Amino acid sequence: MTEIPSRDELVSRAEALIPSLQSRRHQAHDERKLPVENVKEVVEAGLFKLTQPRRVGGYEADLHTHIDVIGALAQGCASTAWVVSVCHAHAWLMGCFPKQAQDDSYGQNPDAIITAVIGPRGKATRVDGGYQLSGFWPFCSGVAHADWVLLGGFVLGDDGNPVDDGDFLIPSSELSIRDDWNVTGLRATGSSSVSVEELFIPDHRYLSFPAMIAGEAPGRDLHATNLYKGAPIPLLSFGVTSPALGIAEGAINAFKAH
């Protein structure tokens, strides 16, 4: 059984990384993605695991812990905090997937990093045993360091019209990644575009969003806590709002020091 650190311990681990994250800010800016050292430190501190299910090696922590940890990381590196925060959202989403998908992604590597573009930008059709998916997805934050990616898409019926929409779990090795992230703010998030063409996705690696919103996510009852029974839209929004708190606090502290 995974040992679950306390909130204070996890926040302390995040705060301890602030100086080293700050020391690589110029490297992060130049590389336009997170330095490998940043990712390694966050992994070693266990800070990608906060919303990962306990049954597959995560901490299944509460959202208050998520907010405090991301706030601390953001004082060291805004882009690192952003990537970790959205990965927390996607780890939560994985807790709603079928059991086999959770085991596929975390079973062989409990430290797996999962990122996503969850909006339904792709198109999929039903085939024997699963789906055939094609599409182009911009803004895939942290994809250079991800082991798996969740990509959103519409499922089309025989008449070509959508009959469902949701997310597909894909090994990052099966993606095409475009080096097109060259911005000013959050420059080091490495939010590059990705694409797939006629990629087969087995049934168990698909999660219907309407079913999840209706409380019918297949993985929601596998877990020790009620974390994965929360409403998905407000819960997923924590992934993009939490970094702003730490960024603001870091800016105030930097101004005072100056």
Each residue of 213-249: pLDDT tens digit?
999 999 999 998 999 999 998 889 888 899 999 999 9
- What b-and-e string marks burial along 36-66, b requiring 16 or more CB atoms within 10 Å of the CB? eebbebbbebbbbbbbbbbbbbbbbbebebb
Compute the half-sphere exposure of residue 190: CA atoms within 13 Å on the CB side of its CA: 21
- pLDDT higher than threshold 90 for residue 97: yes
**Do residues 31 and 192 make contact, with C-beta atoms less than 8 angstroms apart?**
no
pLDDT of residue 108: 86
pLDDT of residue 235: 87
Which residue, 184, 146, 178, is CA-closest to 29?
Answer: 184
pTM: 0.96
pLDDT of residue 1: 58
pLDDT of residue 210: 96
Question: What are the CA-CA distances from residue 132 to residues 4, 11, 168, 196, 222 (Å)?
Answer: 39, 42, 10, 10, 28
According to DSSP, the residues that pair with 135 across neighbouring strands are 196
Give the span between the Cα atoms of 227 and 237, in whole angstroms: 15
Strand intervals (E) in 54-104: none
Residue type, 96: C
